[in-house]
Chains A and B, each alone.
Chain A
């Protein structure tokens, strides 16, 4: 593993941890977006440009926008609630960095002992067009439907939530 890849990996893990541990939903969404961006760069470095482009556009871009749109429709917590939630969250997720560090140590220490028969899929060797519209077109339609379902979720569950006389509970 190169030094750059190590830095990117560390940033990825740190931003993913931030996304889980922060009490602010907006910061959490941004943390997730940064983690996705780091992952996209790592994928590109590892020779998977197609996966990197999709990760960057869909996960780091589109999904972050959907999350922030949904969050913007929800009311903010009171300051006191925020402080209490921050403490609870830190207490709850305190072991997480330690578990991740232990897992990373195991993988770096013993990872080379396991021989993996890496067989790159055919699609990766072709172009983006071939991969998306010829080899995996069934999945692409499925992924479009997932995004559609996500959009429905935002509209149905959050619409009118803050309107006076709306259905806020």
Chain B
């Protein structure tokens, strides 16, 4: 029945867009919230019959889908949490009911795309659902139709088209070799002939396409513009989960099921991961626009995930999955808070802010939680995932990579402390004396995500034993 995670949001979009007047506009928000809550509830309990029992007519249609494992469940939970946060923020951000309705419809389509990516069991299906998420994201970024928004969306379209062409070419090569495009067939073809230059080209093309989709260095040119120009709820969705599902999760899934963990691929992943960690962190320091800083920070944090994957050990893989989820939570939280501050102060320039925590205490406090978690400070969840990745890299003999990751974490702490000081601490500027705490639709997801970060931090040992280390069985 996991296919219902695609069918129900799709039916919801179609039904909500029936010409039945304003009632549909109002219902769209609550329907989406309900769908996210239901998906989150299902994802936290892998023993539910929902994940195993087929639903006859749908199971025939979706038979090329992959079996749901712990990695899929982590992604489903991340998709539900971040989509919920994005929809809530949309309610706070956008006052016009019709525009909000359109925005929520596209968010639901993005959810269909992301759930499809997680359920895909062959390369072409994967490609189709990556495209759904991408097309919906182009619309979300350009939604406000301003010059910056259109420029950000256009850059994403151009680089995304390059990535799509690379992935399609790769699928074509796999098809020529195997006559099919399922993960099993492609993986089998690679096991037999690992030195065939055409097959290696196919792997390089697909991995390159996913590097672009993930916004990894040196393919990150589109990401800061897209994240910073997009409307706030779209930034949350993109940074929290869209690029992670279309790029990072897909890379993880294919590395395990198709490419295999070869020394050459490991070296590429570690190199790209380290470059992203360092360049993302260094670029974030010099930013004045808070959303651009968060975008560069996102590049750096995704680098940690790729480093964990590149280490190639079960511990590294578990750390990568944990950091993928943590990143979805704390980066969504930071983008929500940035949106709340922008909405109340009218600026994203950190030089024009100061002392805002006096007027927005909840936003200030949850920002501190997110910042400390991102920088890897105990006991927050980000500390544990970074620790596991660094220990895995050290244990695998990649001492230089582990040391670089630790140093970059200090840089992360430095630029986020600068951000906190400029935005929330210090004296309150007179022009901001009239501002107040963000509305409930921004504060509720903010508190929820902060609580998730804190609880995951305290529950990390249990979480590793019960949820993340069983992922070893995938390898």
Chain B residues in 8 Å Cβ range of A152: 102, 105-106, 109, 136, 139
For window 103-121 of chain A, which residues contact chain B by CB distance below 8 Å?
A: 114, 116-121
Chain A residues in 8 Å Cβ range of B128: 139, 142-143, 146
- What CA separation (Å) do A161 and B145 show in the bound complex? 10
Say yes or no: B179 contacts A119, CB within 8 Å: yes
Say yes or no: A156 contacts B129, CB within 8 Å: no
For window 60-88 of chain B, which residues contact chain A by CB distance below 8 Å?
A: 60-65
Chain B residues in 8 Å Cβ range of A157: 139, 142-143, 145
Say yes or no: B198 contacts A116, CB within 8 Å: yes
Nearest chain A CB to B289 CB, angstrom units? 21
Say yes or no: A149 contacts B135, CB within 8 Å: yes
Kindly state whether residue B113 has any CB partner on chain A within 8 Å. Answer: yes
- What CA separation (Å) do A121 and B181 show in the bound complex? 9
Chain A residues in 8 Å Cβ range of B129: 142
Main secondary structure on chain B at its contact with chain A?
helix
Say yes or no: B109 contacts A148, CB within 8 Å: yes
Chain A residues in 8 Å Cβ range of B139: 149, 152-153, 156-157
Say yes or no: A121 contacts B135, CB within 8 Å: no
Chain A residues in 8 Å Cβ range of B178: 119
Say yes or no: A139 contacts B125, CB within 8 Å: yes
Chain B residues in 8 Å Cβ range of A169: 145-147
Kindly state whether residue A141 has any CB partner on chain B within 8 Å. Answer: yes
- What CA separation (Å) do A137 and B128 show in the bound complex? 12
Encoded as 1 (CB less than 8 Å from any B CB) or 0, chain A from 94 to 133 comes to: 0000000000000000000010111111100000000000
Nearest CB in chain B to that of A119: its residue: B179
Say yes or no: B135 contacts A146, CB within 8 Å: yes
Kindly state whether residue A167 has any CB partner on chain B within 8 Å. Answer: yes
- What CA separation (Å) do A139 and B127 show in the bound complex? 9
Nearest chain A CB to B276 CB, angstrom units? 29
Nearest chain A CB to B250 CB, angstrom units? 15
Say yes or no: A145 contacts B10, CB within 8 Å: yes
- What CA separation (Å) do A150 and B157 show in the bound complex? 13
Encoded as 1 (CB less than 8 Å from any A CB) or 0, chain B from 118 to 135 comes to: 001000110011011001
Given contacts A138-B64, A142-B129, A156-B143, whether A122 and B106 have CB atoms under 8 Å apart is: no
Say yes or no: B125 contacts A145, CB within 8 Å: no
Nearest chain B CB to A18 CB, angstrom units? 18
Kindly state whether residue B417 has any CB partner on chain A within 8 Å. Answer: no
Nearest CB in chain A to that of B181: its residue: A121
Nearest chain A CB to B64 CB, angstrom units? 5
Say yes or no: A117 contacts B177, CB within 8 Å: yes
Chain B residues in 8 Å Cβ range of A118: 176
Say yes or no: B198 contacts A114, CB within 8 Å: yes
Given contacts A118-B176, A137-B61, A152-B102, whether A145 and B109 have CB atoms under 8 Å apart is: yes
**Chain B residues in the interface with A (C-beta under 8 A):** 6, 10, 13, 60-65, 102, 105-106, 109, 112-113, 116, 120, 124-125, 128-129, 131-132, 135-136, 138-139, 142-143, 145-147, 175-181, 198
- Name 25 A/B residue pairs within 8 A (Cβ), A-sorted: A117-B177, A119-B175, A120-B179, A121-B175, A121-B181, A136-B64, A138-B64, A138-B125, A139-B64, A141-B6, A142-B125, A145-B10, A145-B113, A145-B116, A145-B132, A146-B131, A146-B132, A148-B13, A148-B109, A149-B135, A149-B139, A150-B135, A152-B105, A156-B139, A169-B147
